[in-house]
Amino acid sequence: MSTTPAVICLDLGGSFVKLGVMDAQQQLTILDQQKIPADSWPDFTALVSRMIQQHQLHFSTDSPLAISTAGIVAPDSGEMFASNIPAFHQRNLSQALGELLQRKVIVHNDADCFTLAEAQAGVGKGHKVVFGAIIGSGVGGGLVADGRIITGQNGLTGEWGHGPITLTEVDIEGETIRLPRQPCPCGQKGCLDSYGGARGLENLHRTLHDVNASSLDIIAGWQQQEVQANRTIQVWLQLVSQPLAYTINITGASLVAVGGGLASVTALMEALNEEVQRYVLRSTQHPLVVPGAFAHNGGMIGAALLARQVA
Protein backbone atom coordinates (compact mmCIF):
# COMPACT_ATOMS: atom_id res chain seq x y z
CA MET A 1 0.00 0.00 0.00
CA SER A 2 1.22 3.49 -0.82
CA THR A 3 2.66 5.64 1.96
CA THR A 4 1.12 8.73 0.37
CA PRO A 5 -0.25 10.68 3.37
CA ALA A 6 -3.33 11.96 1.54
CA VAL A 7 -5.38 11.25 -1.55
CA ILE A 8 -7.42 13.99 -3.22
CA CYS A 9 -10.91 12.70 -4.01
CA LEU A 10 -13.41 13.98 -6.56
CA ASP A 11 -16.95 12.78 -7.11
CA LEU A 12 -18.33 13.78 -10.51
CA GLY A 13 -22.04 13.55 -11.15
CA GLY A 14 -24.44 15.14 -13.55
CA SER A 15 -25.14 18.00 -11.12
CA PHE A 16 -22.16 18.54 -8.81
CA VAL A 17 -18.41 18.23 -8.32
CA LYS A 18 -17.57 17.18 -4.77
CA LEU A 19 -14.01 17.50 -3.42
CA GLY A 20 -12.59 15.63 -0.45
CA VAL A 21 -9.36 14.26 0.99
CA MET A 22 -8.58 10.84 2.47
CA ASP A 23 -5.82 10.82 5.09
CA ALA A 24 -3.35 8.06 5.94
CA GLN A 25 -5.89 6.55 8.37
CA GLN A 26 -8.42 6.27 5.52
CA GLN A 27 -10.66 8.97 6.97
CA LEU A 28 -12.49 11.03 4.36
CA THR A 29 -13.11 14.75 4.85
CA ILE A 30 -15.40 16.62 2.46
CA LEU A 31 -13.91 19.98 1.56
CA ASP A 32 -16.09 21.53 -1.13
CA GLN A 33 -19.01 21.05 -3.49
CA GLN A 34 -19.78 23.05 -6.62
CA LYS A 35 -22.25 22.86 -9.48
CA ILE A 36 -20.60 21.05 -12.36
CA PRO A 37 -20.17 22.89 -15.69
CA ALA A 38 -21.29 19.74 -17.47
CA ASP A 39 -21.16 21.11 -21.03
CA SER A 40 -17.75 22.81 -21.13
CA TRP A 41 -14.33 21.18 -20.88
CA PRO A 42 -12.49 24.51 -20.26
CA ASP A 43 -14.98 25.50 -17.55
CA PHE A 44 -14.82 22.04 -16.00
CA THR A 45 -11.02 21.95 -15.83
CA ALA A 46 -10.90 25.52 -14.53
CA LEU A 47 -13.28 24.60 -11.71
CA VAL A 48 -11.35 21.47 -10.73
CA SER A 49 -8.04 23.37 -10.77
CA ARG A 50 -9.52 26.16 -8.66
CA MET A 51 -11.04 23.78 -6.09
CA ILE A 52 -7.77 21.93 -5.63
CA GLN A 53 -5.81 25.18 -5.40
CA GLN A 54 -8.16 26.59 -2.76
CA HIS A 55 -7.72 23.51 -0.53
CA GLN A 56 -4.07 22.72 -1.21
CA LEU A 57 -3.14 22.90 2.48
CA HIS A 58 -4.93 19.55 2.99
CA PHE A 59 -2.61 17.55 0.70
CA SER A 60 0.84 17.59 -0.87
CA THR A 61 2.04 18.30 -4.41
CA ASP A 62 2.51 14.57 -5.03
CA SER A 63 -0.90 13.51 -3.68
CA PRO A 64 -2.77 11.55 -6.36
CA LEU A 65 -6.21 12.60 -7.52
CA ALA A 66 -8.81 9.81 -7.31
CA ILE A 67 -12.01 10.36 -9.27
CA SER A 68 -15.32 8.54 -8.92
CA THR A 69 -17.57 9.40 -11.82
CA ALA A 70 -20.81 8.60 -13.54
CA GLY A 71 -20.13 6.90 -16.84
CA ILE A 72 -17.86 4.17 -18.16
CA VAL A 73 -14.07 4.21 -18.43
CA ALA A 74 -12.76 2.12 -21.32
CA PRO A 75 -10.06 -0.09 -19.74
CA ASP A 76 -7.76 -0.07 -22.77
CA SER A 77 -7.92 3.53 -23.97
CA GLY A 78 -9.05 5.34 -20.81
CA GLU A 79 -11.74 7.05 -22.88
CA MET A 80 -14.83 8.14 -20.98
CA PHE A 81 -18.39 7.37 -22.03
CA ALA A 82 -20.45 9.87 -20.02
CA SER A 83 -23.29 11.14 -22.15
CA ASN A 84 -24.81 13.14 -19.27
CA ILE A 85 -21.51 15.03 -18.77
CA PRO A 86 -20.49 16.22 -22.26
CA ALA A 87 -17.55 18.18 -20.80
CA PHE A 88 -15.43 15.03 -20.73
CA HIS A 89 -17.48 12.59 -22.80
CA GLN A 90 -15.13 10.64 -25.14
CA ARG A 91 -12.00 12.11 -23.52
CA ASN A 92 -9.23 10.32 -21.66
CA LEU A 93 -10.03 12.11 -18.42
CA SER A 94 -7.17 10.58 -16.45
CA GLN A 95 -4.52 11.59 -18.96
CA ALA A 96 -5.94 15.03 -19.72
CA LEU A 97 -6.36 16.07 -16.07
CA GLY A 98 -3.04 14.50 -15.13
CA GLU A 99 -1.22 16.65 -17.67
CA LEU A 100 -3.12 19.76 -16.62
CA LEU A 101 -2.70 19.32 -12.86
CA GLN A 102 0.76 17.70 -12.99
CA ARG A 103 -0.19 14.88 -10.69
CA LYS A 104 -1.30 11.24 -10.99
CA VAL A 105 -5.02 10.91 -11.73
CA ILE A 106 -7.03 7.69 -11.30
CA VAL A 107 -10.57 7.61 -12.74
CA HIS A 108 -13.15 4.88 -12.23
CA ASN A 109 -16.89 4.30 -12.41
CA ASP A 110 -18.80 5.42 -9.30
CA ALA A 111 -20.72 2.14 -8.81
CA ASP A 112 -17.46 0.17 -8.93
CA CYS A 113 -15.88 2.59 -6.46
CA PHE A 114 -18.86 2.28 -4.10
CA THR A 115 -18.55 -1.51 -4.22
CA LEU A 116 -14.82 -1.40 -3.45
CA ALA A 117 -15.47 0.89 -0.47
CA GLU A 118 -18.08 -1.49 0.91
CA ALA A 119 -15.91 -4.57 0.28
CA GLN A 120 -12.81 -3.15 1.94
CA ALA A 121 -14.19 -0.95 4.69
CA GLY A 122 -17.99 -1.25 4.78
CA VAL A 123 -20.68 -3.89 5.14
CA GLY A 124 -18.84 -6.29 2.81
CA LYS A 125 -15.60 -6.33 4.78
CA GLY A 126 -14.45 -9.93 5.24
CA HIS A 127 -16.44 -11.23 2.26
CA LYS A 128 -14.55 -12.75 -0.67
CA VAL A 129 -17.04 -11.63 -3.35
CA VAL A 130 -19.19 -8.51 -2.92
CA PHE A 131 -21.76 -7.22 -5.38
CA GLY A 132 -22.72 -3.55 -5.21
CA ALA A 133 -26.29 -2.86 -6.32
CA ILE A 134 -27.10 0.77 -6.99
CA ILE A 135 -30.84 1.44 -6.72
CA GLY A 136 -31.08 5.18 -7.11
CA SER A 137 -32.78 7.11 -9.87
CA GLY A 138 -31.79 4.09 -12.02
CA VAL A 139 -30.20 0.67 -11.52
CA GLY A 140 -26.48 -0.06 -11.68
CA GLY A 141 -23.85 -2.23 -10.07
CA GLY A 142 -20.27 -3.26 -9.50
CA LEU A 143 -18.36 -6.38 -8.52
CA VAL A 144 -15.36 -6.84 -6.22
CA ALA A 145 -13.52 -10.13 -5.64
CA ASP A 146 -10.60 -10.58 -3.26
CA GLY A 147 -10.59 -6.84 -2.63
CA ARG A 148 -10.20 -5.94 -6.32
CA ILE A 149 -12.66 -4.36 -8.74
CA ILE A 150 -13.58 -6.72 -11.57
CA THR A 151 -13.50 -4.68 -14.77
CA GLY A 152 -15.00 -6.39 -17.78
CA GLN A 153 -15.09 -5.76 -21.50
CA ASN A 154 -15.36 -2.06 -22.38
CA GLY A 155 -15.41 -1.23 -18.66
CA LEU A 156 -18.80 -2.88 -18.13
CA THR A 157 -19.34 -5.16 -15.13
CA GLY A 158 -22.29 -5.66 -12.82
CA GLU A 159 -24.84 -3.92 -15.05
CA TRP A 160 -27.76 -5.97 -13.81
CA GLY A 161 -30.18 -3.16 -14.67
CA HIS A 162 -29.75 -3.59 -18.42
CA GLY A 163 -30.63 -6.32 -20.88
CA PRO A 164 -34.10 -7.63 -21.84
CA ILE A 165 -34.60 -9.60 -18.62
CA THR A 166 -37.56 -8.02 -16.83
CA LEU A 167 -40.55 -10.22 -16.10
CA THR A 168 -43.59 -9.52 -18.24
CA GLU A 169 -45.98 -10.97 -15.69
CA VAL A 170 -45.99 -11.48 -11.93
CA ASP A 171 -48.31 -13.36 -9.59
CA ILE A 172 -49.62 -11.43 -6.61
CA GLU A 173 -51.98 -13.25 -4.23
CA GLY A 174 -53.22 -15.53 -7.01
CA GLU A 175 -53.65 -12.71 -9.52
CA THR A 176 -51.52 -12.60 -12.66
CA ILE A 177 -50.43 -9.07 -13.56
CA ARG A 178 -49.05 -8.50 -17.05
CA LEU A 179 -46.58 -5.72 -17.72
CA PRO A 180 -45.42 -4.16 -20.98
CA ARG A 181 -41.75 -4.15 -21.89
CA GLN A 182 -40.62 -0.55 -21.62
CA PRO A 183 -38.01 1.09 -23.88
CA CYS A 184 -34.77 1.96 -22.09
CA PRO A 185 -32.38 4.88 -22.77
CA CYS A 186 -29.64 2.29 -23.37
CA GLY A 187 -31.45 1.36 -26.61
CA GLN A 188 -32.91 -1.96 -25.50
CA LYS A 189 -36.41 -2.87 -24.46
CA GLY A 190 -37.35 -4.70 -21.28
CA CYS A 191 -34.48 -3.58 -19.02
CA LEU A 192 -34.96 -3.69 -15.26
CA ASP A 193 -33.85 -0.05 -15.17
CA SER A 194 -37.28 0.83 -16.63
CA TYR A 195 -39.04 -0.37 -13.46
CA GLY A 196 -36.32 -0.87 -10.85
CA GLY A 197 -34.95 2.49 -9.69
CA ALA A 198 -36.83 5.43 -8.21
CA ARG A 199 -37.93 6.68 -11.65
CA GLY A 200 -38.76 3.09 -12.55
CA LEU A 201 -40.89 2.70 -9.43
CA GLU A 202 -42.83 5.78 -10.48
CA ASN A 203 -43.19 4.35 -13.98
CA LEU A 204 -44.41 1.05 -12.56
CA HIS A 205 -47.01 2.79 -10.37
CA ARG A 206 -48.23 4.74 -13.40
CA THR A 207 -48.38 1.56 -15.50
CA LEU A 208 -50.34 -0.34 -12.84
CA HIS A 209 -52.73 2.37 -11.69
CA ASP A 210 -52.58 5.19 -14.24
CA VAL A 211 -51.59 7.50 -11.37
CA ASN A 212 -48.58 9.82 -11.17
CA ALA A 213 -46.83 9.73 -7.80
CA SER A 214 -43.29 10.29 -6.56
CA SER A 215 -41.22 7.35 -5.34
CA LEU A 216 -41.25 8.90 -1.85
CA ASP A 217 -45.06 9.05 -1.84
CA ILE A 218 -45.35 5.49 -3.15
CA ILE A 219 -43.05 4.16 -0.42
CA ALA A 220 -44.84 6.19 2.26
CA GLY A 221 -48.16 4.81 1.02
CA TRP A 222 -46.79 1.27 1.16
CA GLN A 223 -45.63 1.75 4.73
CA GLN A 224 -49.13 2.99 5.59
CA GLN A 225 -50.72 -0.03 3.84
CA GLU A 226 -52.36 2.10 1.14
CA VAL A 227 -53.84 -0.34 -1.40
CA GLN A 228 -52.38 0.94 -4.68
CA ALA A 229 -48.94 1.67 -3.24
CA ASN A 230 -48.86 -1.75 -1.56
CA ARG A 231 -49.63 -3.44 -4.88
CA THR A 232 -46.92 -1.44 -6.64
CA ILE A 233 -44.27 -2.40 -4.07
CA GLN A 234 -45.30 -6.07 -4.18
CA VAL A 235 -44.84 -6.07 -7.95
CA TRP A 236 -41.58 -4.11 -7.66
CA LEU A 237 -40.17 -6.62 -5.20
CA GLN A 238 -40.78 -9.48 -7.62
CA LEU A 239 -39.35 -7.59 -10.58
CA VAL A 240 -36.17 -6.58 -8.73
CA SER A 241 -35.52 -9.62 -6.55
CA GLN A 242 -35.35 -12.23 -9.31
CA PRO A 243 -32.64 -10.55 -11.45
CA LEU A 244 -30.72 -9.75 -8.27
CA ALA A 245 -30.89 -13.38 -7.14
CA TYR A 246 -29.76 -14.45 -10.61
CA THR A 247 -26.82 -12.04 -10.32
CA ILE A 248 -25.86 -13.54 -6.94
CA ASN A 249 -26.00 -17.05 -8.39
CA ILE A 250 -23.71 -16.07 -11.29
CA THR A 251 -21.15 -14.02 -9.36
CA GLY A 252 -21.05 -16.09 -6.18
CA ALA A 253 -21.39 -12.94 -4.09
CA SER A 254 -21.93 -13.66 -0.40
CA LEU A 255 -23.19 -10.13 0.18
CA VAL A 256 -24.96 -7.43 -1.81
CA ALA A 257 -24.27 -3.88 -0.60
CA VAL A 258 -27.01 -1.55 -1.81
CA GLY A 259 -26.39 2.10 -2.60
CA GLY A 260 -28.55 4.85 -4.05
CA GLY A 261 -31.59 6.62 -2.69
CA LEU A 262 -33.85 3.59 -2.21
CA ALA A 263 -31.18 1.92 -0.07
CA SER A 264 -32.02 4.40 2.69
CA VAL A 265 -35.49 2.85 3.14
CA THR A 266 -34.67 0.14 5.68
CA ALA A 267 -38.04 -1.64 5.48
CA LEU A 268 -37.83 -1.83 1.69
CA MET A 269 -34.32 -3.32 1.82
CA GLU A 270 -35.45 -5.87 4.40
CA ALA A 271 -38.35 -6.86 2.16
CA LEU A 272 -36.02 -7.08 -0.85
CA ASN A 273 -33.61 -9.29 1.07
CA GLU A 274 -36.46 -11.60 2.05
CA GLU A 275 -37.58 -11.92 -1.57
CA VAL A 276 -34.04 -12.50 -2.86
CA GLN A 277 -33.49 -15.26 -0.30
CA ARG A 278 -36.43 -17.11 -1.88
CA TYR A 279 -34.79 -17.23 -5.30
CA VAL A 280 -31.06 -17.79 -4.71
CA LEU A 281 -29.78 -21.33 -5.00
CA ARG A 282 -28.60 -21.28 -1.41
CA SER A 283 -30.21 -18.99 1.13
CA THR A 284 -28.27 -17.87 4.20
CA GLN A 285 -28.89 -17.21 7.85
CA HIS A 286 -27.40 -13.73 7.56
CA PRO A 287 -28.96 -11.06 5.30
CA LEU A 288 -27.71 -11.21 1.73
CA VAL A 289 -28.97 -7.78 0.68
CA VAL A 290 -28.10 -4.91 3.03
CA PRO A 291 -27.84 -1.12 2.77
CA GLY A 292 -24.25 0.01 2.29
CA ALA A 293 -22.35 1.81 5.02
CA PHE A 294 -21.24 4.57 2.64
CA ALA A 295 -24.47 5.72 1.05
CA HIS A 296 -23.32 9.31 0.51
CA ASN A 297 -19.57 9.19 -0.15
CA GLY A 298 -18.87 5.58 -1.07
CA GLY A 299 -17.67 6.52 -4.54
CA MET A 300 -15.03 8.90 -3.19
CA ILE A 301 -13.86 6.44 -0.54
CA GLY A 302 -13.60 3.64 -3.10
CA ALA A 303 -11.73 5.83 -5.59
CA ALA A 304 -9.19 6.77 -2.90
CA LEU A 305 -8.76 3.12 -1.90
CA LEU A 306 -8.24 2.26 -5.56
CA ALA A 307 -5.59 4.98 -5.85
CA ARG A 308 -3.77 3.44 -2.90
CA GLN A 309 -3.95 0.00 -4.56
CA VAL A 310 -2.45 1.11 -7.87
CA ALA A 311 0.10 3.60 -6.51
- If asked whether residues 198 and 280 sit together in one domain, one would say yes
In what side-by-side order are the strands of the sheet with 289-291? 148-149, 139-145, 129-135, 255-259, 289-291
Phi/psi for 287 (5° steps) reads: -60, 140
223-243 burial, b for 16+ CB within 10 Å, e for fewer?
A: eeeeeebbbbbbbbbbbbbbb
- Report the number of secondary-structure helices (H) and strands (E) in the chain: 9, 14
Decide if 217 is inside a domain.
Answer: yes
- If asked whether residues 277 and 303 sit together in one domain, one would say no
In this prediction, residue 5 carries a pLDDT of 73
Decide if 254 is inside a domain.
Answer: yes
**Residue pair 6/21 in contact by the 8 Å Cβ criterion:** yes
Decide if 1 is inside a domain.
Answer: no
- If asked whether residues 213 and 78 sit together in one domain, one would say no
Pairing, β 175-178 against β 16-23: unpaired
**One-letter identity of residue 265:** V
Decide if 187 is inside a domain.
Answer: yes
The gap between the terminal CA atoms of the chain, to the nearest Å, is: 7
Decide if 121 is inside a domain.
Answer: no
pLDDT digits (tens, 9 = 90+) for 245-280: 999 999 999 999 999 999 999 999 999 999 999 999
- If asked whether residues 168 and 77 sit together in one domain, one would say no
CATH number, residue 306: 3.30.420.40
pLDDT digits (tens, 9 = 90+) for 140-194: 999 999 999 999 888 889 999 998 888 899 998 889 999 999 998 888 999 999 9
Residues in the chain predicted with pLDDT less than 70, given as ranges, are 1-4
Q: pTM of the full predicted structure?
A: 0.94
- If asked whether residues 136 and 280 sit together in one domain, one would say yes
- If asked whether residues 107 and 222 sit together in one domain, one would say no
Number of domain units in the chain: 2
Question: What would the DSSP string read from start to end of 206-221?
Answer: HHHHS----HHHHHHH
Beta bridge partners of 19: 10, 32
- If asked whether residues 44 and 155 sit together in one domain, one would say no
- If asked whether residues 78 and 203 sit together in one domain, one would say no
Boundaries of domain holding 34: 6-113+297-310
- If asked whether residues 155 and 249 sit together in one domain, one would say yes
In this prediction, residue 187 carries a pLDDT of 86
In this prediction, residue 4 carries a pLDDT of 59
What is the greatest pairwise CA distance in the chain? Answer: 65
Decide if 12 is inside a domain.
Answer: yes
- If asked whether residues 256 and 157 sit together in one domain, one would say yes
Reference 284, options 231, 248, 238; nearest CA is 248
In this prediction, residue 282 carries a pLDDT of 87
